[in-house]
Amino acid sequence: MHNSSGDYTTKSGYAQARLKLSKKANKMQANERSSARNDDPTLWHQVWDLNIKHKLKHFLWKCLHNILPTNEEVHRRTCKGDKWCKCCGEEVETLEHLFFNCKAREEAWKTFPIKWDGIQESSWNFWKWWEALQSARCRVNGISHIEATTNFLWQLWKARNVCNFNKESTKGNLISSRALEEWLEYKQMWDLEKRESKKDDPEVPTMTITEELQDQHVILMFTDATMDKKRSRGGLGIATKDHNGKLVKTWAIPTGMMKDAAILEAEAIRSAMLKALEEGWTSLLIHSDCKCLVDRFNHRCIGLSLLDVLVDDIVHLSRSF
């Protein structure tokens, strides 16, 4: 091994040998830690309990075992092919580069309404990032956000494959919108199956009030809002379906200020109504799971807070439908 001057010395050879041994030791330690983590029953229960398609659970299983066939993993196994990322061409395509560091995927993360900036320091290792992601389970709609994010990772992988094999790029906003569409479609199918299974139960009404309302409207709108307090950033998600359950359109709107959850949800509803007006829709039903905001509508009071102003805007907009 040559030194910086281009000359071979015993010292330079010894230094290179130490470096190789150090890398080998670090890799063995990492593998040992990975094997120990793979035996963690809690994390695996969390994966298998997610309300997502089975193929996505298998996809997560591969990611957590670090056996997804990225360019780096394929080269490591076969010593063939190019290790570099074909989407950006700037780094070796590891699992972490593919999901978190590839510049070709920056727009997708920016347009995805669920933000995970608070766990960004764990993005150097997918397992640690996924572990950090589980802290969201204790927050409102946290599990749903994890499920939607799993669909997002799947769409990132699919876009990567299109780039690798078809030499075609996929716009970031399409990746995020497809992830939301797939998640909402599966979620609604699952809810429908649950309702169908309860039809034979005499204690369960055959049609809920919500279902009756859905039959009376042309467009159904679903809103969701999330905020990362650590980074003071958030996002709004809007999905629309017709009364037959067919997905019509989706929007992902990033926000950049620290706000209360009820205010974010109110902004999502107002944005949904404005989008509906732009589309020329005149009959719509908006679903919201924010109880405190729903209570605010049911017990309106005149005030000057930002939430009061948003509620007043929504009431005025509702007169257009």
Higher pLDDT, 26 or 156: 156
Higher pLDDT, 102 or 217: 102
Mean pLDDT across 240-256 = 79
Checking if the pLDDT of 26 tops 60, the result is no
Q: In this predicted model, what pLDDT tens digit does every residue of 57-103 receive, in sequence order? A: 999 999 999 999 999 999 999 998 899 999 999 999 999 999 999 99
Checking if the pLDDT of 4 tops 80, the result is no
pLDDT > 70 in the chain, percent: 74
What fold, for 218-318?
Nucleotidyltransferase; domain 5 (3.30.420)
Checking if the pLDDT of 32 tops 70, the result is no
What global pTM score does this model have?
A: 0.59
Q: What is the mean pLDDT of the chain?
A: 80
Q: Which residues pair with 223 in a beta bridge?
A: 238
Checking if the pLDDT of 157 tops 70, the result is yes
Q: In this predicted model, what pLDDT tens digit does every residue of 273-306 receive, in sequence order? A: 898 888 888 888 887 777 777 777 766 666 667 8
Sorted by where each begins, the domain ranges of the chain are 43-181, 218-318
